[in-house]
Amino acid sequence: MSRPLRKLLDKAGMAVCVLLLVSPALLFFLWMLSLSLKFEIDNGAYPPILIPERFAWKNYTTIFEGNSFLLYFWNSLIVTGAATLFALLVGVPAGYGIARMQAHKSAVVIMIARMTPGLSFLIPLFLLFQWLGLLGTLWPQIIIHLVVTVPIVIWIMIGYFETTPMELEEAAMVDGATRWQIFAKVALPIAKPGIVVAFILSVIFSWNNFVFGIVLASRETRTLPVAVYNMLSFEQVSWGPLAAAALVVTLPVLILTVAAQRQIVAGLTAGAVKGG
């Protein structure tokens, strides 16, 4: 076999493998996109239609018309935003402390909190929130989302702070910095890529959370995943609007990930120590 042909075959083989690997995720998205653009009649057709002759843009407009979608979007934004913000405020210093003091046991305790099924503390927390008179506000959801976001942030930050060269902090110590100044002026800026990663993951997990919302949210305080679920149960199963709503719900997270990925520049610590 000639060399160029062989190379071409290698490339083609590689492409097929990659396609096979990503197809579950990709096809699922494509099918959702297709569903959201088809009329109900096409959605039920057999053999299935991928690209319809007429696009049903109306699926998208109905979401925004009927279901106080914007309110739910706003709720989601507040809950995810607040839960992520609090998680960063608490989790970044906590991760730093655990990494520097090598408090692996407390890291494990936090992990256990994360592993415990959310439902097991939903009921007690529900009663607590009721007693505090917080039901009907967004606070219960913000607080309970911290169960998800705080451990993520702490664990990611532990990893990042542990890779920060200790010599940098010692240099700052000799330069006259206090513990707090070392954290704020040396450790924190260097851990920026880690903070970005923690932020994104925290947003994704919080944004997509469904279980907490379905229990704690009232009609006014629903978040988007719950709203989408409600479309499924109360109207007849109309796949078009449902897929459109699901896509719209996924979109912010998708955009955020794509945008922020560029900022995760691994080379930030380059030059700090030899070989960087």
Partner 1 sequence: MASVSIRNVRKSYGPVEIIKGVSIDIRDGEFVILVGPSGCGKSTLLRMIAGLEEISGGTIAIDDRVVNDMPPKDRDIAMVFQNYALYPHMTIADNMSFALRLKNTAKSEIAAKVERAAGILGLGPLLDRFPRQLSGGQRQRVAMGRAIVRDPKVFLFDEPLSNLDAKLRVQMRTEIKEMHQRLKTTTVYVTHDQIEAMTMADKIVVMHDGIIEQVGAPLDLYDNPANMFVAGFIGSPAMNFIPGSIGGDGFTTEDGSRLPLGGRVPAASDGRPAVYGVRPEHFRLADEGLAAEVVVVEPTGSETQMVLRPLGSKAGQAGAGREDRKRELTWVLRERTGARPGEVVRIAPDPARAHLFNPDTGLRL
Question: Could you give the count of Cα atoms lying within 13 Å of 3 in the half-sphere of its Cβ?
Answer: 0
User: Three-state SS for 223?
Assistant: coil
270 binds partner 1 (CB under 8 A): yes
And the tokens for 172? 């700052």
Among 175, 237, 254, 265, binds partner 1 (CB under 8 A): 175
CB of 195 to partner 1, least distance (A): 13
Among 103, 173, 211, 215, binds partner 1 (CB under 8 A): 173
If the CB atoms of residues 250 and 269 are measured against partner 1, the closer one turns out to be 269
Closest CA to 210 of 192, 226, 232, 222: 226
CB of 160 to partner 1, least distance (A): 14
And the tokens for 139? 């606070």
If the CB atoms of residues 173 and 253 are measured against partner 1, the closer one turns out to be 173
If the CB atoms of residues 131 and 180 are measured against partner 1, the closer one turns out to be 180
Region for 103 from its dihedrals, namely left if φ exceeds 0, alpha if ψ lies in -120 to 50, beta otherwise: beta
Among 190, 200, 243, 246, binds partner 1 (CB under 8 A): 190
If the CB atoms of residues 186 and 243 are measured against partner 1, the closer one turns out to be 186
269 binds partner 1 (CB under 8 A): yes
The CA distances from residue 219 to 38, 44, 122, 138, 230, in Å, are 29, 31, 18, 11, 10
CB of 179 to partner 1, least distance (A): 9
Q: What mask, x for binding partner 1 by CB under 8 A, covers residues 124 to 163? A: ----------------------------------------
Among 116, 163, 178, 261, binds partner 1 (CB under 8 A): 178
Total residues contacting partner 1 by CB under 8 A comes to: 27
- Whether 81 contacts 188, CB under 8 Å: no
- Whether 118 contacts 147, CB under 8 Å: yes
Among 33, 85, 171, 256, binds partner 1 (CB under 8 A): 171
Largest CA distance in the chain: 78
Among 115, 174, 258, 266, binds partner 1 (CB under 8 A): 174
And the tokens for 43? 């959605």
4 binds partner 1 (CB under 8 A): no
And the tokens for 182? 């070392």
With vertex at residue 68, the alpha carbon angle to CA 67 and CA 73, rounded to the nearest 5 degrees, is: 110
If the CB atoms of residues 100 and 222 are measured against partner 1, the closer one turns out to be 100
Chain residues in the site for partner 1 (CB under 8 A): 165, 167-168, 170-178, 181, 185-186, 189-190, 192, 267-274, 276
